[in-house]
Amino acid sequence: MKLCVLGAGSWGIALSLHLRRAGHDISLWEYDAAKAGQLAQTREDKKLLPGILLPREITVTSDMSLALSGREGVVMAVPSHGVRSTMVRAVPAWPRGAWVVCASKGLEESSHLRMSEVLKQSLKGGVPVAVISGPSHAEEVSRKMPTTVVAASEDENLSKTIQEAFHSDYFRVYTSRDLAGVELGGALKNVIAIAAGITDGLGLGDNTKAAIMTRGLHEMTRLGVALGAQASTFSGLAGMGDLIVTCTSRHSRNRLLGEKIGKGATLEQALKEMVMVAEGVKTSHAAIDLAQQCQVEVPITSEVYEVLFKDKTAKEAAHSLLSRSAKPEQSF
């Protein structure tokens, strides 16, 4: 199958390499011409994925028309805030009959739309859209460490196509029709991971992090259901699975950002020290607005937002959560 991966960050590189290993003809698009040229020549991004080499068979280019020419499917792997602007470039060159699967996780800050909704708007309908999500750090996928994800689409045939295209002996793919749930799980868990990182920075221990993850999953589910998702999806790979890895892994940029803030850094200082994008920062703003619209209580997300944008200290946020009124535990 001829596939194009849009975005040559760590995730785009890892997916390009994985799909090439699976036997597909791959083109990889990078918006920065200088970076594309360097990656095409050296076949390695020493900053993002040191030691991982792209095969010569993968075409690396900043020319969108060249990257998309003749492709049967497109994999969107740019950070969520760049999906719409990337589609502005891609739509004029979109290959006839090609489907698209979004591997970007987040909510658009201005519109609060999920990434599949941004893609559908950009393509004005008529193009099959899917998403792929789950606990899948690029650093591990690129090194063939066993990984399991979910491919979701309202079109069951497309979900199966994605499953077949991505599936391998170390990369297992399940299918789902709950497009909203899979996307919201992948987006909202990044905010909870910032909270988990803050507990690391404050040195609050494993009990605290377990509580943040458990109650965080509860509020993710509560908001997701209010937005049309299925509660059961949040107990699976795109919800609990992705939440666990993002809250605990050394590879997690959202957890790392939270840790820096917990240790006393401002958001600006923490972002300057980051090599990659922490999606939870922008998602927290969208999540708060959506929760208010749906009249859903999201205390952990609210405290993360207050710390990131309202100058609340990490210690004050922790105290606010612990001093909330006692109540029975609820589950879905």
Residue pLDDT, tens place only, 207-237: 999 999 999 999 999 999 999 999 999 999 9
263-272 pLDDT, tens digit each: 999 999 999 8
Catalytic residue among 189, 209, 260, 282: 189
Asked if 141 and 15 count as a contact pair (C-beta separation under 8 A), the reply is: yes
Examine the residue annotation and report whether 282 is marked as an active-site residue of this protein: no
Give the CATH number of domain 184-322. Answer: 1.10.1040.10
Q: What is the pLDDT of residue 326?
A: 84
For the chain, what are the domain ranges?
2-177, 184-322
Q: What is the pLDDT of residue 190?
A: 96
Q: What is the pLDDT of residue 277?
A: 75
Using pLDDT thresholds of 50, 70 and 90, give the confidence band for residue 125. Answer: confident
* Domain 2-177 is found in CATH 3.40.50.720: yes
Indicate if the pLDDT at residue 130 is higher than 90: yes
Q: What is the mean pLDDT of the chain?
A: 95
- Across the range 280-299, mean pLDDT stands at 95
Q: What is the pLDDT of residue 275?
A: 73
13-32 pLDDT, tens digit each: 999 999 999 999 999 999 99
Percent of the chain's residues with pLDDT above 70? 99
Indicate if the pLDDT at residue 97 is higher than 60: yes
Q: What is the pLDDT of residue 332?
A: 56
Indicate if the pLDDT at residue 323 is higher than 90: no
- Across the range 114-129, mean pLDDT stands at 94
166-199 pLDDT, tens digit each: 999 999 999 999 999 999 999 999 999 999 999 9
Within 13 Å, how many C-alpha atoms sit on residue 244's CB side? 9
Q: What is the pLDDT of residue 283?
A: 94
pTM for this one?
Answer: 0.94
Q: What is the pLDDT of residue 330?
A: 74
Indicate if the pLDDT at residue 331 is higher than 70: no
